[in-house]
């Protein structure tokens, strides 16, 4: 474990947006409550994140969600709950507004997908160390490996895209609480497209650095991803 993790001088919080319907996974079942090794996906995700010395974590959940607050989450004494929004970005902003009441704007916060239960401690430590050492926002990402095609009019290939400078963004994505809140508020006001926290930070000209992630930090989006996550978690436990 790095010196940073042993002597953490920075206050660190986590936000887990978990209010989405996940319609690509199922019309009726929420992916974060699917079971893997006798625990929900969300429990696995929280267990990974709480390996870091968090001040606390905020779960932004749906209004009709009656499950999250009944789960035996890791470090439950550090758990906070707020209402999610119509879209992921609104859930994150609601959580940031919640945190603003109990944390400093200079505290660090990272946002992590509820359905990414396989993120490694090494990646989490690398992200935190990079952001705090360089005092700038950072995200986990991996270089794009496969050949990319731009497709138009159905399935016709228009061109092959140069992937040499392309990275696939993952989570967590980390920034100062006040900076991220301001970025999202401004991006929403301007009607900008916000696909993740980094895109909001980019919109206000905030520099964001990528930290090498791992390909096994998958997001459960489709039903087949759940089976892959089961295999990854089993392999990581060996």
* pLDDT tens digits, one per residue of 75-126: 999 999 999 999 999 999 999 999 999 999 999 999 999 999 999 999 999 9
Q: pTM (2 decimals)?
A: 0.92
Task: Pull the structure tokens for residue 66.
Answer: 């009656």
Number of domains the chain contains? 1
Percent of the chain with pLDDT over 70: 92
What whole-number distance in Å separates Cα of residue 22 and Cα of residue 238? 30
Q: State which residues form the domain around 54.
A: 9-237
Is 1 within a domain?
no
End-to-end Cα separation, the chain, in angstroms: 19
Is 3 within a domain?
no
Distances (CA, A) of 150 to 109, 156, 162: 35, 9, 10
> pLDDT tens for residues 180-209?
999 999 999 999 999 999 999 999 999 999
- The pLDDT of residue 6 is 46
- The pLDDT of residue 10 is 83
Only one residue has tokens 């940031």, namely 96
The upper half-sphere exposure of residue 145, i.e. CA atoms within 13 Å in the direction of its Cβ, equals: 4
CA quadruple 63, 65, 66, 69: dihedral sign: negative
**Nearest CA to 127 among 8, 219, 210?**
210
Assign 26 a pLDDT band (cuts: 50, 70, 90). low
- The pLDDT of residue 20 is 72
Q: What is the CATH number of the domain that holds 210?
A: 3.90.550.10
- The pLDDT of residue 2 is 47
What whole-number distance in Å separates Cα of residue 91 and Cα of residue 65? 14
Radius of gyration of the chain (CA): 18
Checking if the pLDDT of 24 tops 70, the result is no
Average pLDDT over residues 59-67: 94
Task: Pull the structure tokens for residue 142.
Answer: 């991996």
Is 80 within a domain?
yes
Checking if the pLDDT of 29 tops 90, the result is no
Checking if the pLDDT of 32 tops 90, the result is yes
pLDDT, averaged across the chain: 93
CB atoms near residue 217 (< 10 Å) = 23
Is 174 within a domain?
yes
CB atoms near residue 177 (< 10 Å) = 20
Is 4 within a domain?
no
DSSP run (H or E) holding 168: strand 167-176
Average pLDDT over residues 146-162: 95
The residues, any chain, with a CB within 8 Å of residue 231's CB and separated by 6 or more, are: none
Is 164 within a domain?
yes
Is 2 within a domain?
no
Assign 1 a pLDDT band (cuts: 50, 70, 90). very low
Checking if the pLDDT of 154 tops 90, the result is no
Checking if the pLDDT of 3 tops 80, the result is no
Cis peptide leading into residue 172 (ω within 30°): yes
**Nearest CA to 115 among 234, 201, 233?**
233
Decide: residue 117, CB within 10 A, 0-12 exposed, 13-18 middle, 19+ buried: buried
């Amino acid at each position: 474990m790095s010196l940073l993790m042993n002597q953490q001088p920075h206050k660190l919080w986590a936000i887990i947006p978990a209010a989405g319907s996940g319609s690509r996974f199922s019309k009726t079942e929420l992916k974060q409550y699917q079971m893997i090794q006798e625990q929900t996906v969300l429990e696995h995700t929280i267990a990974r994140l709480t390996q870091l010395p968090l001040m606390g974590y905020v779960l932004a959940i749906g209004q009709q969600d009656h499950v999250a607050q009944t789960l035996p989450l890791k470090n439950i004494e550090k758990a906070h709950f707020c209402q999610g929004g119509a879209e992921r970005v609104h859930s994150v902003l609601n959580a940031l507004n919640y945190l603003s009441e109990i944390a400093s704007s200079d505290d660090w916060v990272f946002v992590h997908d509820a359905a990414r239960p396989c993120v490694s401690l090494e990646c989490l430590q690398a992200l935190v160390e990079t952001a705090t050492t360089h005092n700038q926002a950072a995200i986990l990402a991996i270089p794009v490996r496969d050949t990319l095609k731009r497709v138009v009019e159905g399935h016709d290939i228009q061109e092959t895209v140069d992937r040499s400078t392309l990275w696939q963004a993952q989570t967590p994505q980390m920034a100062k609480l006040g900076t991220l809140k301001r970025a999202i508020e401004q991006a929403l006001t301007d009607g900008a497209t916000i696909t993740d926290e980094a895109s909001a930070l980019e919109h206000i000209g905030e520099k964001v650095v990528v930290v090498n992630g791992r390909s096994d930090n998958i997001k459960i989006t489709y039903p087949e991803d759940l089976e892959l996550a089961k295999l990854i978690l089993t392999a990581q436990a060996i």
